[in-house]
């Protein structure tokens, strides 16, 4: 809607035949062929910066977008930044990659952590009958 409004249009506007308009100016979705899984170790300070960013907005589970030329180095030393914290992380993006054999199975550790938390939250008598 913002893209249309910047062009003086609305959803019910009728564009003259032959005119070209923009309906979207930005997308966060890459083609699968253009998306690679990076499995090199991340710098501990970079990981901590991502944790602090998620914590600052009060999230236990978050997608933290980082822009950096080298993820093996602290953000500050290479001019990297935490660009955004998403409360609804795009877990599916980790599976839509060019080489699916190298895809990071992020749902597995997330679900394990959630299920462990649920198990710890049960009264001890329930845990004993379930186990």
16 falls within a domain: no
Q: What is the pLDDT of residues 116-125, one digit of tens each?
A: 988 887 776 6
What's the pLDDT band for 49 if we cut at 50, 70, 90? very high
What pLDDT sits at residue 130?
Answer: 54
Are the C-beta atoms of 71 and 38 separated by less than 8 Å?
Answer: yes
What residues contact residue 7 under an 8 Å CB cut-off, 6+ apart?
21, 22
23 falls within a domain: no
88 falls within a domain: yes
Residue found under tokens 């649920």: 118
Measured distance CA(14)–CA(84) in Å, rounded: 36
What residues contact residue 92 under an 8 Å CB cut-off, 6+ apart?
none
Q: What is the pLDDT of residues 56-78, one digit of tens each?
A: 999 989 999 999 999 999 999 99
20 falls within a domain: no
Which CATH number is 63's domain given?
A: 3.30.470
What pLDDT sits at residue 87?
Answer: 92
Domain count, the chain: 1
27 falls within a domain: no
Q: 3-state class of 12 per DSSP?
A: coil
Residue 95 has which token pair? 């599976």
The domain of 38 spans: 32-130
Top mean-pLDDT range of 15-19, 42-46, 109-113:
42-46
């Amino acid at each position: 809607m913002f893209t249309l409004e910047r062009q003086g249009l609305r959803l019910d506007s009728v564009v003259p035949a032959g005119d070209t308009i923009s309906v979207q100016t930005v997308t966060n979705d890459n083609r699968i062929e253009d998306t690679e899984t990076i499995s090199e170790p991340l710098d501990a300070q970079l990981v901590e910066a991502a944790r602090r960013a998620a914590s600052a907005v009060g999230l236990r589970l978050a997608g933290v977008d980082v822009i950096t030329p080298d993820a093996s180095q602290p953000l500050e030393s290479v001019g990297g930044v935490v660009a955004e914290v998403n409360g609804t992380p795009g877990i599916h993006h980790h599976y839509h990659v060019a080489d699916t054999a190298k895809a990071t199975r992020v749902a597995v550790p997330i679900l394990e952590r959630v299920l462990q938390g649920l198990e710890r939250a049960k009264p001890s008598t329930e845990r004993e009958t379930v186990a």
